Structure 1
Amino acid sequence: MSDTTPRPSTDLESSPLLAHRNGDEEEAPQNKSFLAALTDPTREMTAGEKLLGAVALIFLVLAATFIGLFSGLKHRISSGETGSTTTITDYITQTSTQTATQTEVFTSTVPQPAPTESPTQGPCLTSECVMLASSMLGYLDTSLDPCEDFVGFATNGWVKANPLPKSKAIWGSFNQVRANNQKVILEILKKPITVKSVEELKKETPEEIAERDNLVKMKTVFDDCLNEDHLDEIGTAPLLDIVDAIRASFPAVYPKSVDAKTQTQSKAAWYSFEELERNARVAVDRILNGETAESSIVKEEEDVEETDFKEKEPSRKTKLTNALAYLHAKGISALFEFNVEGDVGVDPQFQVLSLYQSSTGLPAKPYYDEVSIVEVYEEVVATLLSELLPKSLLSDASLLVESSPDSSLWPPFPSWPSPGPKTPEGDEFPAPESSRSNLVKKLAHQVVVFETALARAGADPEDIFDPTKAYNPTPFEDVELGIDLARYVSAFAPRNFPSKIIVTSPSFVKKVNKLVANTDDHVLQSYFLVRAAFKHANLLGPKVEVRLAGEKLTSVLRGTKLGAEVDREEVCAGHLDSVVGHLVGAEFIKTQFPGDSKVKGERIIFGIIDAFKERLKTIGWMDDASRKKAIAKAEAITPKIGYPLYPNHKSPIALRNYYARSPVNSGDFFEDVVRATESDLAKSWQAALGNKRNVDIWEMNAHTVNAYFSPPDNEIVFPSGILQPPFFNAEWPGYLSYGSFGAVAAHELAHAFDSTGSKYDDKGFFRDWWSNSTVKAFEERANCIAEQYSKFYVVGPDGKQVHVNGNLTNGENIGDFGLRFAWKAWKASLEGQKEEKILPGLPYTAEQMFFLSFGRIWASTASPAQAVAGVRTDPHSPNQFRIEGTLRNFPQFAETFNCPKGSRMNPKERCELW
């Protein structure tokens, strides 16, 4: 940070982010360390207090001494001083569960690298430092050589002490921070609201009334979610309301009969759902009695011309329009979906519609090629349809015909075998005991065939993240989706009707139109119902069959134990975030985001920006003109830290008004969540579309454990939720703060110049702003990183290797390379200051502790199935490769740990970028 140029507040506001709970504007007193409280008391201590203080101090010194002796002994043993050898395992093949196949095992007599320099300061003996030292020791496995297996060296102690919970697919430092943040919220939710007398209520201020209303709203949602007995009692009823609406908006028409010779349908060859429900059960009874199926059919439409019949039915385009508008309003992704975001080609702050492909039931294309996964998926889809469709609906074998999606999009699965015995007329018909089951299976198969084709039609994830492929502005009237698009958009009541749409994948639009045109109505309707079930099944009771079916699929995809007990409070806290997330965040920051955290966090962020600007001045592959623009972009980046300013988290009234459109009713948990989804969507379409972006709105809640960079807005955002241990603490030594939170901040900054961010200028415009030679040099280095990470792999539950997609993860990997700016910023922060104190019992330099701090934030364990799912769907590399890949390419790491040339962590060839 420059000494001469003051920076604006990170949230572009003049007042502090946090007000004190009592409304005082005075600066809050700083919390003193334990040792400081002894040496500088605020009052005269009694003799007893002095004695206790002396005893406590002696205890801390002894504890630190024993920690040091133990760690030193363990360090000498592991470093080879006893003459033993160390077996090193090649962790490049490991999964996050440390269970991967060992492809390279060898012995080493290389001693553990000694500190590169002796610490100049004595150990920090405050209670915070002692506990922190103990925590750091708990992460380490000093039996390993950090130059060969730094991942294991820095995290194996934690992994061994934190086995994967049965109900979890992944567990790591991020999860622990989320759990700790939830505990803060749970304490608030469990605390009863103070009962006041009538006189006291009359004296309440508007702010106090709003505060109580907000707490009641939070507690109502949370308590309703916890009431699983009630959720089980009402069963699928809330979801069936949505099912009925879908069936009403998209009434499926089934073939009555098909002429075996001509394969043509008679003029009265179609049943509506109402007809089916009226006739199906009668048809079964008559066939069982040896009568023909035709004799059971009501003939009202027999003498009606086919054209007259069709005129009474809504057109397919109208039905699709109605169904998709309804589904999307409920937050249910089907066929495609829209998002409101900046127009990066014309005005990044002007919000327009962007068209994306929909999500699918299986999380990635490769899953649709795995027979075992597809078999489970079809079983789950069959269960859902059996639970959601009327019992009388699927009772006649003649009602289903084979669906044949365009084979050029995806090879359809083989036809199912004949469903059962034949009628006296020779028509195939299942036995009554299994007719519905077999027909539901066939319908489920058709749905999966359709969805498989839909998945294949979609663009690959790396193309969606690439603006050169995904930014395709198209006039509104030229976007063809097989629906009445104007009517669809009008359903969301935007105040400004769009004149164009950003189409992220034009080829997908063409393919999906062709696919839908060649798919039967009953298959489409069933697909819609399945999408609704997958979206909302987790809102149902734990014993409801629809929810159990969804959990079965999840357990297979993520490798969790089916039926494992889950922490319901944790689940409900997650749902609370989606309904009233800003209320939760407002409560969180009252106690978990003190003013000194904001100041220290800002100092780290600004220091990293300055370090990056200095580095830009010396990069050889960037020409002067491009360098000047890059520095201007770095200077223009807006850091935001703490919490969003809209809605105003300091105003209970503003928060209450924000959620006024999504009322909460006791006992209506399912409906409350759906209403919140509808409200959020309405705010986006009605307030944002066609307007300038509200810069005070964030994409995350205040208590979220995450951070992000927004290319159109050129801003990096850090919610207070991530400014918690082990990422950050205002009292920590700098080498820990910069190695952990500094790494997060540097990662987000580097995103501004990664394979995607580098395509946006300092104002957020998507355009070419680097010279051709600089772009070429950048791409060469980015490709080196992509190729390097593509050699990493995890091992799945079947023992097969699944390689990281270096192209998909390229932007995030480049972001992790920002660690070197955190390093430079930390070093710059020490200029003119005394050396920072070291933690007791840890025989490592401050430089080594910087890297250990970085390693521990990525400590995690995961099931093999989840490791595979992450590689296929996540733009981030698996955590172990985020550590190894970053540090192998960072020369200062090898220098700090004295790693010999050619060792795993000091390779002969590196990828160089920043």
Structure 2
Amino acid sequence: MDEDRQPLLGARTGAAASPTGHRATSPIWRKRILGAFALLSTVLVLSAVASWLAGKEHEGFQTSDLPPTRDTHTRREYGLKTVQFLEPQDETPCNKPHCVVTAARVLQSLNTSADPCDDFYEFACGGYIKAHPIPDDKSQVGSLNDLAEDNLRLLKEVVAGPYKPDPSLVGDEAELDKANFDKAQGLYQSCMNENVIEDVGAAPLINLLRTVSEKFPLSSGKSLDRLKLVAALAESHTLGTSPFFAMYVTGDEKDPDLNIIRLSQSGLTLPSKEYYEEEDFVKSLEGTVREAFEHVLRNATEVKGDWKGLARDVVELEVALAKISLPSSEMQDPSKLYNEFTPKSLSTLSKVLPWQTYLLTRFPPSKFPSTINDSTLLIVETPSFFANLTQVLAATKPTTVENYLLWKYIWNYSDYLGKEVRDLFKGLKQKTGERASVEPPRWRTCVTLVDNVVGEISAKWFVAEAFGGDSKQAASQSIAYIKKAFLDRLPNLAWLDEETRKTAVEKVENLISKIGYPDSILKPKEVADKYKDLPIKKETYFENAVSAEKWFSADNLKDILKPVDRKKWHMTPPTVNAYYNPPMNEIVFPAGILQPPFYGARDPQYLNYGAIGMVVGHELTHAFDNNGRQYDAKGRLRDWWSEKTSKEFEKRAQCFVDQYSKYTVKGPDGKEVHVDGILTLGENLADNGGLSRALEAWRADMDAPGGKDRNQKLPGFDGYSKEQLLYLGCAQVWCRNTRPEMALKRVRTDPHSPARYRINGALANSKEFAEAYRCKKGSRMNPVDKCLIW
């Protein structure tokens, strides 16, 4: 996603309590609650529960598939297997409206004909999957997507509606607040104005290509002019494309308060290098490039002639780049990606560019005095790629290099043009899982753009509706219990030596948590200052996109002049996600994820700990996964493990690699594709550790004063123990349906395992789960051999 640890979900934030209100007051949530009651009125959940217990059938489910009655050792039949439910029936379930709504949500997702000891994900999510086919405008649907959609709808109400003044602001602050809102709304309106977008057609992109081609010609000579290439690449990178490589400013992982320059491999159009090894995808890419050249490039340059041949040359260049690129699985280890160079030493390694000239072009001395010199520290993630890039370009015609750069502009900016141009890319994007067959509603595209570009403006009104003070307090409490659970666990790990254990304790104790949103979004002047150099006009959508790319680039580069901003968030508040940032040793939970089904202020705590508690534990465990463990309590990349303990960790980690590498998904051709156990190792360790800590933290919370009141039974689940419901709460936030194209893309590029295996893989390693569901030893969900680190 960026230089930080991969977030919980795998993709461009202390906070005070919400200015006003809580999400339950918003129109969207009122509709959802009313809808749930309407559904419950139809299926009569509560009376159906009584009917179930009386031995009747309901909607095709047999009584043997439903929760057992009062016998605390009644067995529940699942074909050849049995599961015991041990909770006594002496507790009156909660029948209040919010409990009924929550019960309906959980019940509807279940597939009670599935055996939880054979496939718990199917048991927990089968009902959801069956009831939620993937619509034509989406590549996947799921509980997370549902929440993200709700958040986008709330943002739509903000940016599409009238400005709502903040009564606490007066004078200049009030004026700035209104101006900030107008900027966000102007961007939204420019995106929604489809008549203007269609009227201008491809003209804005054609003008951009013409300007770039005339300003930075590369095809005039027989050999590639390196100085002209420097100028062309600098312009391309400034405008948001990343041909050949990416360059950005970020924190120094060995000195977390210092900003440095980092370079990484880049330049591929397809999602990963593996796609270039399959002829079908390469031919699709070549056909798309040819069509784009015929419809756009022919009107932008003097180049005429064999568009098919020109497209083939560009794709062959990308194939060559793919061959020298490292696979995703080799881009995970931060120590291996931390390679120190200077402009001089990089020029010796990679003669493709005069690197100091390139850097001086990006960091002109007039704006960045004394920034670039012979000894400037550069971190190069993949030295082998940069070394081999010299040979690739030496074998490539200058005309092909220029056309490749122009292609990257076309690919990057096509989404900001009319439908005729966008449709040129539809087939390829659908084939690679990046788009569905039908475009999403226009409002969704435009609200997403606003959140991505000026998210700290619109966030203020989002949190006013969606994030109450109780949400922050509850998240803080969960974090405290999770941290304590981890600290309590450390003395019990015999494979940890004392010195390593001591440093691990220090790291947990120094962990910083950010919850909800940054305080800065409530301060109009700070927000205005952030976006003051970003011009937005509601009449010019394409130009706004270009301005945004320039602004992102400039905003990043100027960080080189100052220390790392420890208050900075890397996600906007409405984001349904979370992350651990190793150099800051911080875990971050935006307001967007602190909503049902992850967290409900009035939901039973066993569901909350199963969901948001697992998320908190997941992010904390990232501090000690195969990558996070390489950073100390102050966020410095250094080896603080003893050799013996490190070897034991690697041995235990290999168990997870082997386990998850056996899992498969079906690709678009119907063939089974294996999960990459190396690529997904860090996330799998976090899922396993997070699940264990969530259970332990919940038990501690239960033992605290008022624990029983916070854990009332839900109607319809009389036969379930609270532990069993905790595991349901954990699984059901990952319920999803995914198209095969998207599934293939995720397996190849996403460090997270597919949802089914995030749940089944972690639970199969949990003896507590096996005990809760009385799974027979040797069953799929209770294998004899389990993997365990934390």
Q: TM-score, normalised by structure 1?
A: 0.77
Aligned partner of 2:444 in structure 1 is 570
**Of 729, 738, 760, which residue of structure 1 is paired with 2:600?**
729
1:224 aligns with 2:205: no
Aligned partner of 2:721 in structure 1 is 845
Aligned partner of 1:376 in structure 2 is 284
**Of 319, 332, 339, which residue of structure 1 is paired with 2:228?**
319
1:121 aligns with 2:91: yes
CA distance 1:538–1:391, shift in 2 (3 Å): closer
**Of 557, 560, 567, which residue of structure 2 is paired with 1:689?**
560
CA shift, 1:456, in A, is 1.3
**Of 289, 297, 310, which residue of structure 2 is paired with 1:443?**
310
1:146-174: CA deviations, max 9, x gaps?
00111110001111111101121111111
CA shift, 1:782, in A, is 0.7
1:703 aligns with 2:574: yes
Alpha-carbon distance in 1 for matches of 2:214, 2:506: 56
**Of 228, 232, 243, which residue of structure 2 is paired with 1:334?**
243
Q: Secondary structure at the match of 1:689?
A: helix
Aligned partner of 1:488 in structure 2 is 358
> Does structure 1 retain, via aligned residues, the 8 Å contact 2:338–2:381?
yes
CA distance 1:193–1:470, shift in 2 (3 Å): closer
Larger deviation, residues 597-606 vs 365-374 = 365-374
> Does structure 2 retain, via aligned residues, the 8 Å contact 1:394–1:440?
no
1:109 aligns with 2:80: yes
> Does structure 2 retain, via aligned residues, the 8 Å contact 1:119–1:846?
no
CA distance 1:205–1:690, shift in 2 (3 Å): closer
Alpha-carbon distance in 1 for matches of 2:164, 2:629: 53
**Of 424, 429, 435, which residue of structure 2 is paired with 1:554?**
429
> Does structure 1 retain, via aligned residues, the 8 Å contact 2:284–2:428?
yes
Q: Secondary structure at the match of 2:584?
A: coil
Aligned partner of 2:342 in structure 1 is 475
Larger deviation, residues 565-574 vs 600-609 = 565-574
Aligned partner of 1:798 in structure 2 is 669
Structure number with greater CO (CA < 8 Å, separation at least 6) is 2
What RMSD over aligned residues (CA atoms) do the two structures have, in Å? 2.6
Structure label with greater radius of gyration: 1
Aligned partner of 2:150 in structure 1 is 180
Aligned partner of 1:679 in structure 2 is 551
1:310-363: CA deviations, max 9, x gaps?
9xxxx7111111111101101111100112222122x12211011101141111
CA distance 1:194–1:167, shift in 2 (3 Å): closer
**Of 246, 250, 266, which residue of structure 1 is paired with 2:212?**
246
Alpha-carbon distance in 2 for matches of 1:12, 1:867: 36
> Does structure 2 retain, via aligned residues, the 8 Å contact 1:228–1:542?
no
Q: Secondary structure at the match of 1:353?
A: strand
> Does structure 2 retain, via aligned residues, the 8 Å contact 1:457–1:511?
yes
> Does structure 1 retain, via aligned residues, the 8 Å contact 2:340–2:380?
yes
How do 1:422-571 and structure 2 match up within 5 A?
Answer: 436=305, 439-480=306-347, 481=350, 482-493=352-363, 495=368, 497-498=371-372, 499-543=376-420, 545=421, 547-558=422-433, 562=437, 564-571=438-445
1:77 aligns with 2:64: yes
Larger deviation, residues 385-394 vs 830-839 = 385-394
Aligned partner of 2:124 in structure 1 is 154
CA distance 1:380–1:828, shift in 2 (3 Å): same
CA shift, 1:535, in A, is 1.0
Alpha-carbon distance in 1 for matches of 2:589, 2:537: 33
1:362 aligns with 2:234: no
**Of 759, 763, 776, which residue of structure 2 is paired with 1:900?**
776
CA distance 1:873–1:70, shift in 2 (3 Å): farther
CA shift, 1:617, in A, is 1.0
> Does structure 1 retain, via aligned residues, the 8 Å contact 2:508–2:633?
yes
Alpha-carbon distance in 2 for matches of 1:226, 1:512: 41
In structure 2, what residue type is equivalent to 1:890?
S
> Does structure 2 retain, via aligned residues, the 8 Å contact 1:166–1:560?
no
1:829 aligns with 2:706: no
CA shift, 1:780, in A, is 0.6
In structure 1, what residue type is equivalent to 2:260?
V
CA shift, 1:642, in A, is 0.8
Aligned partner of 1:625 in structure 2 is 499
Alpha-carbon distance in 1 for matches of 2:23, 2:533: 39
In structure 2, what residue type is equivalent to 1:172?
G
1:600 aligns with 2:474: yes
CA shift, 1:20, in A, is 3.8
Aligned partner of 1:713 in structure 2 is 584
Alpha-carbon distance in 1 for matches of 2:783, 2:315: 47
**Of 156, 160, 173, which residue of structure 2 is paired with 1:207?**
173
Q: Secondary structure at the match of 2:249?
A: strand
In structure 2, what residue type is equivalent to 1:165?
P
CA distance 1:194–1:878, shift in 2 (3 Å): closer
Alpha-carbon distance in 2 for matches of 1:380, 1:856: 39
**Of 33, 46, 49, which residue of structure 2 is paired with 1:65?**
46
CA distance 1:372–1:451, shift in 2 (3 Å): same
1:182-223: CA deviations, max 9, x gaps?
11111122323489xxxx9xx962222222212222221111
Q: Secondary structure at the match of 2:789?
A: coil
Report % sequence identity. Answer: 34
> Does structure 1 retain, via aligned residues, the 8 Å contact 2:158–2:462?
no
More helix by share: 2
CA shift, 1:64, in A, is 5.9
In structure 1, what residue type is equivalent to 2:788?
E
Structure 1 gaps, min length 5: 1-10, 22-27, 32-55, 83-106, 256-269, 271-309, 397-435
CA shift, 1:110, in A, is 2.5
Alpha-carbon distance in 2 for matches of 1:209, 1:831: 51
CA shift, 1:657, in A, is 2.3
* Number of residue-to-residue matches in the alignment: 734
1:503-534: CA deviations, max 9, x gaps?
10110000112211221111001111111111
Alpha-carbon distance in 2 for matches of 1:581, 1:134: 33
**Of 201, 209, 219, which residue of structure 2 is paired with 1:235?**
201
Alpha-carbon distance in 2 for matches of 1:194, 1:465: 45
Alpha-carbon distance in 2 for matches of 1:763, 1:392: 52
> Does structure 2 retain, via aligned residues, the 8 Å contact 1:383–1:549?
yes
CA shift, 1:395, in A, is 7.7
CA shift, 1:19, in A, is 3.1
CA shift, 1:77, in A, is 2.8
CA distance 1:627–1:388, shift in 2 (3 Å): same
1:870 aligns with 2:746: yes
CA distance 1:655–1:108, shift in 2 (3 Å): same
CA shift, 1:120, in A, is 5.2
CA distance 1:566–1:616, shift in 2 (3 Å): same
CA shift, 1:560, in A, is 6.0
> Does structure 2 retain, via aligned residues, the 8 Å contact 1:119–1:845?
no
Structure 2 gaps, min length 5: 1-12, 26-36, 70-77
> Does structure 1 retain, via aligned residues, the 8 Å contact 2:139–2:434?
yes
> Does structure 1 retain, via aligned residues, the 8 Å contact 2:218–2:399?
yes
> Does structure 1 retain, via aligned residues, the 8 Å contact 2:231–2:361?
no
**Of 347, 350, 357, which residue of structure 1 is paired with 2:258?**
350
CA distance 1:70–1:501, shift in 2 (3 Å): farther
Q: TM-score, normalised by structure 2?
A: 0.89
> Does structure 2 retain, via aligned residues, the 8 Å contact 1:243–1:388?
no
Alpha-carbon distance in 2 for matches of 1:391, 1:672: 22
> Does structure 2 retain, via aligned residues, the 8 Å contact 1:385–1:526?
no
CA shift, 1:538, in A, is 0.7
Aligned partner of 2:73 in structure 1 is none
> Does structure 2 retain, via aligned residues, the 8 Å contact 1:579–1:677?
no
> Does structure 2 retain, via aligned residues, the 8 Å contact 1:751–1:811?
yes
